[in-house]
Structure 1
Amino acid sequence: MTAVIVALVLVGLYWTLLYRGVSLPVFTGVTVAVVAALWAVGVLGPIGVAVVAVLIGVPLAIFNIVPLRRALMTKRLYGVFRKILPEMGPTEKEALEAGDVWWEAEMFRGRPDWKQLHDFQLTKLTAEEQSFLDNETEQLCAMIDDWQVNFELKDLPEDVWDYIRSNGFFAMLIPKEHGGLGFSAYGQSCVVAKIATRSLTAAVTVMVPNSLGPGELLTHYGTKEQQEKWLPGLASGKELPCFALTGVEVGSDATKMPDTGIVCKRTVDGEEVLGLSLNFNKRYITLAPVATMMGLAFKLKDPDGLLGDPETVDYGITCALLATDTPGVKIGRRHFPGATFMNGPIQGEDVFVPIDSIIGGPDKAGKGWRMLVECLSAGRGISLPALSTATGKGMYGITAAYSRIRRQFGTEIGNFEGVQEGLGVIGGYAYILENVRNLTASGVDHCTPSVVTAMIKYHATEMMRTIINHSMDIHSGRGIIMGPRNYLAAAYQALPVAITVEGANIMTRSLMVFGQGAIRCHPYVYSEMEAAHNPDFNAGLQEFDRLLFSHIGYSINRAVRGFTLGITGARLAKSPVNNAMSDYYRHLERFSAALAFCADLSMGTLGGALKLKESTSARLGDVLSHLYMASATLKGFEVNGGTDEDKVHATWALEYHLHEIENAFHEFVRNYPIKAVRPVLKLIALPSGRRFSGPTDSQNAALCDMMLNMKLDTPFGKRMSYDLYIGRGENDPTGRLMTAFEKLQEVDSFYSEFLRGVKHGEIEGETVETQLQDAVSKQLLSADQADQIREYDRLRYDVLLTDDFSKEYLANPLSEQARRAEGRPADLRIAS
């Protein structure tokens, strides 16, 4: 019995040491103390001590004596690692190093510091930003007739273009000293989101110059002379920018672009000028048909050593600025994407520009790829989450309102469980997107997070896809008939734009999130790779030795933590709060530990082949993404005081995220390429199987009930609508819907009684009018109540109507005669 007790105590002791992640010297010291204690009390005799010394003492001595460890163990491993590790090209190295790691690294490393999240301050709108949102942005939205934009003009009207230019919408990121607005990333996000609830075409037109564009590149990397030359014109709207990156055969793999810039000398106005001969063929370039200046990405070559380094010919990807009327540039034709924003091809043949056209000057030759990766990272964190959140919150209100107004089989369609399945997803996703958008945009205001913006680009746009699909299902025929009344079809039609822009979602998920995240977020891997590439073998060996044994301890600790938290239902994890969200913090820490170990084991067993196992890495990326998004929900819950609405929405969101995390782990383990490793992975990731099944029907119904009865003047309603444009008036597509919904809320108490009376035969009549007259005569309604129901019924019926047109108008929507017949404004000013 004594031996059993001693064994249990020792197991508990060492399990605790590994769970807490003590250092190797501490682990060794405890072991020496344990052996001494066992010898002192007589559990171990001289022979036992000798056996322990040989089996345990010798390895521990080797591990702790660094020169001996390095000579006997690490040197051989280091040599093998240097041989098998593929060479990292300068482009790949720049992509990996671009941007910063941020909160996502905490979720990746298995032991998140929740205090760091709680202490992080979300960006708040400044008074200037709030005013711009409430006034200029509101006015812009009111000027736009999206049916006119998408069907009649296939462009923004001239007065809208002028308003955007003259009011600084293209200059939100440009510093004030250059005439720009100098808005925060969060401020830009709110402006783009609000515009997107009115017109995706206008939102894309505004967002592109404020994400990946000449303005951002000039602000971060331009020379003083370049900034003074170009930024004032961009800020005033005199210059319209575009950036030419993607080519005909170059999509996600932009490093393979065939476009070139050859350093050469030309005689210009009688003087010899050092410059570039550019040849390029670009497509999918937003604003290209109307741009006056362009940024251009190309591969720079200097065959004659004119830049001063005769040893270097290929400099790599470089970025330059030039006017679009430069001789040799062919520009102006349009693509016709799902949304009608300006987008088109650009070609150039032997286009000569001075050498100082390189952004940042000649010293930045070959540095373009890093510039682009960092700017793309920031853009992903602002623009696309803003579009997705605008769609989510817009559909939240619109679809909920329609679900109350539309009645079938004698009841509001929002009461049907089948409708609530989709409606709840809209509400849950909208809440997730708002919290993720707030945290991510605030992160961009503090650093340049690269991994997190890639994951949010993918998940936000995929959520948007789901939201729009559910909204279309619930609206049914009302959503598919095109016309001025339709507030869904344009977003549905334009959805693929967000899915493919800045890299197709398939590539983002399978290559970028975990591919870059595993190396950048891991505390040791990238440093180990750098040590392996160190040309000084001994210096590299010393650094590799230190990193390797820290890495081994880290991996063992995460394995023990992941398994322990898994079999105990995460009860041993610590929560930073004591409220309804406490258990969710614990479960996220548990899955974070499991991810850290699974990532380590995958990199260790698959090595470089992991890069080719895209489904495997994508599933680990999904785990990381949902950990980050769940933590954003927890942050939002704490910041907003945990209202009843927040509790219901946050619970739905976190149940969803935990379900998706377990599913990702399940598919990761089930399909892991090396079968022998699968049991180990399952033991750590899902030791007791899957426990989370997603939001229950009752949780979904509770969320739907709040959606169907939400008022915009409540604290929660204000938070979900502060950056939305809600049209006013019965001639506005969203205005007529919200006017009817607000009227329904006013008459709801006695309107419900009226409908119940009709259903049970207490109120008679074939039409609503005769039924109202009968209800008043029987004193079941007052005359005033009847008048209010008449007004609501008129509004309700108008909401259900769809558009129809003459064939003449559809054939030529710009015909003045056809337009007058349709009641459309006859005065159309087409943008030049």
Structure 2
Amino acid sequence: MTLDLLDIDSLLTEEELAIRAVVADVMRKTVRPHIAGWYESGEVPARELALEFGKVGLLGMKLQGYGCAGASSVAYGLACLELEAADSGIRSLVSVQGSLAMEAIAHYGSEEQRRRWLPGMATGELIGCFGLTEPDHGSDPASMSTRAVRDGDGWRLSGVKMWITNAPVADVAVIWARTDDGVRGFAVPMETSGVSAREVTGKLSLRASRTGEIVLDDVRLPADAQLPGATGLRAPLSCLTEARAGIAWGALGAARDCLQSTLDYATAREQFGRPIAGFQLTQAKLADMVLEWQKGLLLALHVARAADRGAMTPTMVSMAKLNSTREAIAIARQCRTIMGANGISGEYPVMRHANNLESVLTYEGTAEIHQLVIGQALTGLSAFA
């Protein structure tokens, strides 16, 4: 039984469909057999997975050169959808590596920095993270406390970054810090003296993702660690825009996995002498969820097509990210009701997706922040403090 009642697949090219199929196959072989156990244990073999993903061009896949695939925004979105259909934490590994860390180095780094880091990151031999969020500064990065001061011909960095995906396994961190000349970015090797990463444990969401705190204790960096093209907050925010576009697709992947699992369950589960999929209330729930899922796909596809012709705006991305994450978590919760008590079992993916989507709803821009971005575009007035 297909969920694509609008035949959205007909809007995709043969190449796009082939890329989606490749990623789905990689997930089927490398992630799906193990993801329930990884989630339960809170452990995931991130380095091994990065190498597997690098083999099929998933890391930095939109970038040109340096071993990257140079794929379209639509192809990247479809990849994110399949990654997150397996698990949000798996998609986070890929999107932080490519859309944040590699994107920052590719667009704002020097040629020397690009040659040093990007080829290894494209193959998965090197892992990157993106240090913007701080313990006391999430939605307001302009107030960040991390400082970089001149020290002879180099720099000294001090501060703390928090909730940083990939930090515990990263080889390089793109760190954003305040300087006397505004916010600047730095490519910081994690082996540098004064840099330490502590893994965040006890998470009830994104358990199959390596998350950490990065402490920068008077870290001495050479002048060439600075990303020369990154001046002001516009640089990290542009990277976040790219990542959010992928998240808009990814959340819909989690929703699809919930829907497919629930449809399969409802057609097999019998109560009162017949499958529960035959009851009116169950069909009403399924119909509403598939409608929202398909609408979300059309929106994500429209924004990605706009990106491929150079017409995507941050407001478009805010609309897509807000819609996809909000509807995906609603779908996951509704699917759980259809599955009853079985919906909370790790044997099925629904509760795992629902828990993960609690994080996806608020990271890289909370729902409220995206509402305000859209509100400002509508009114011309900023509601930010």
Query: Do they fold alike, i.e. is TM over 0.5?
Result: yes
1:133 correspondence with 2:1: no
Aligned to 2:146: 259
Aligned to 1:462: 326
* Paired residues of 1:200 and 1:491 also in contact (CA < 8 A): yes
Match of 2:350 among 488, 491, 499: 488
Mark the structure with the bigger radius of gyration: 1
Decide whether aligned partners of structure 1 residues 125 and 376 sit closer, same or farther in structure 2, where only a CA change above 3 A counts. Answer: farther
More strand by share: 2
1:111-260 mapped onto 2 (5 Å cutoff): 124-125=12-13, 127=15, 130-135=17-22, 137-144=24-31, 145-152=34-41, 154-156=43-45, 159-175=48-64, 177-211=65-99, 213-260=100-147
* Paired residues of 1:260 and 1:279 also in contact (CA < 8 A): yes
CA deviation profile, 1:720-752 (whole Å, cap 9, x unmatched): xxxxxxxxxxxxxxxxxxxxxxxxxxxxxxxxx
Aligned to 1:755: none
Distance 2:266 2:260 in 1: 10
| SS in structure 2 at match of 1:299 | strand
Distance 1:254 1:514 in 2: 20
CA deviation profile, 1:520-540 (whole Å, cap 9, x unmatched): xxxxxxxxxxxxxxxxxxxxx
1:339 correspondence with 2:218: no
| SS in structure 2 at match of 1:154 | coil
Give the C-alpha shift of residue 405 in structure 1: 1.7
* Paired residues of 2:266 and 2:338 also in contact (CA < 8 A): yes
Distance 2:237 2:11 in 1: 24
* Paired residues of 2:161 and 2:214 also in contact (CA < 8 A): yes
User: Identity, % of aligned pairs?
Assistant: 21
Distance 1:226 1:322 in 2: 11
Give the C-alpha shift of residue 204 in structure 1: 1.7
Distance 2:300 2:375 in 1: 20
Distance 1:480 1:137 in 2: 25
Distance 2:164 2:202 in 1: 12
Give the C-alpha shift of residue 297 in structure 1: 0.6
* Paired residues of 1:276 and 1:355 also in contact (CA < 8 A): yes
Give the C-alpha shift of residue 182 in structure 1: 1.1
CA deviation profile, 1:534-569 (whole Å, cap 9, x unmatched): xxxxxxxxxxxxxxxxxxxxxxxxxxxxxxxxxxxx
1:276-291 mapped onto 2 (5 Å cutoff): 276-291=155-170
Distance 2:269 2:250 in 1: 27
* Paired residues of 2:296 and 2:323 also in contact (CA < 8 A): no
Distance 2:305 2:11 in 1: 5
CA deviation profile, 1:610-665 (whole Å, cap 9, x unmatched): 737x9xxxxxxxxxxxxxxxxxxxxxxxxxxxxxxxxxxxxxxxxxxxxxxxxxxx
1:755-770 mapped onto 2 (5 Å cutoff): none
Normalising to structure 1: TM-score of the pair?
A: 0.43
Aligned length: 371
Decide whether aligned partners of structure 1 residues 494 and 515 sit closer, same or farther in structure 2, where only a CA change above 3 A counts. Answer: same
* Paired residues of 2:27 and 2:86 also in contact (CA < 8 A): no
Q: Give the unaligned 5+ runs of structure 1.
A: 1-121, 266-273, 302-314, 520-602, 604-609, 615-832
Decide whether aligned partners of structure 1 residues 241 and 159 sit closer, same or farther in structure 2, where only a CA change above 3 A counts. Answer: closer
| SS in structure 2 at match of 1:283 | strand
Decide whether aligned partners of structure 1 residues 244 and 158 sit closer, same or farther in structure 2, where only a CA change above 3 A counts. Answer: closer
Match of 2:239 among 353, 375, 381: 375
Aligned to 1:439: 302
Aligned to 1:507: 369
| SS in structure 1 at match of 2:149 | strand
Distance 2:36 2:170 in 1: 24
Q: What is the one-letter code of the residue matched to 1:348?
A: L
- Higher-RCO chain (CA-CA 8 Å, sequence separation at least 6): 2
CA deviation profile, 1:64-117 (whole Å, cap 9, x unmatched): xxxxxxxxxxxxxxxxxxxxxxxxxxxxxxxxxxxxxxxxxxxxxxxxxxxxxx
* Paired residues of 1:171 and 1:236 also in contact (CA < 8 A): no
1:35-46 mapped onto 2 (5 Å cutoff): none
Q: What is the one-letter code of the residue matched to 2:78?
A: C
Give the C-alpha shift of residue 418 in structure 1: 2.3
* Paired residues of 2:102 and 2:121 also in contact (CA < 8 A): yes
* Paired residues of 1:125 and 1:186 also in contact (CA < 8 A): no
Match of 1:317 among 183, 186, 203: 183
1:394-793 mapped onto 2 (5 Å cutoff): 394-447=257-310, 448-482=312-346, 485-509=347-371, 511-519=372-380, 611=383
Give the C-alpha shift of residue 336 in structure 1: 4.3
Deviates more, 1:443-452 or 1:129-138: 129-138
| SS in structure 1 at match of 2:199 | coil
Aligned to 2:7: none
More helix by share: 1
Distance 1:335 1:349 in 2: 22
CA deviation profile, 1:188-245 (whole Å, cap 9, x unmatched): 111121122222222221122222x221112222222222222112122221000100
Give the C-alpha shift of residue 153 in structure 1: 5.8
Give 4+ residue runs of structure 1 displaced > 6 Å after superposition: none
| SS in structure 2 at match of 1:500 | coil
Distance 1:372 1:124 in 2: 31
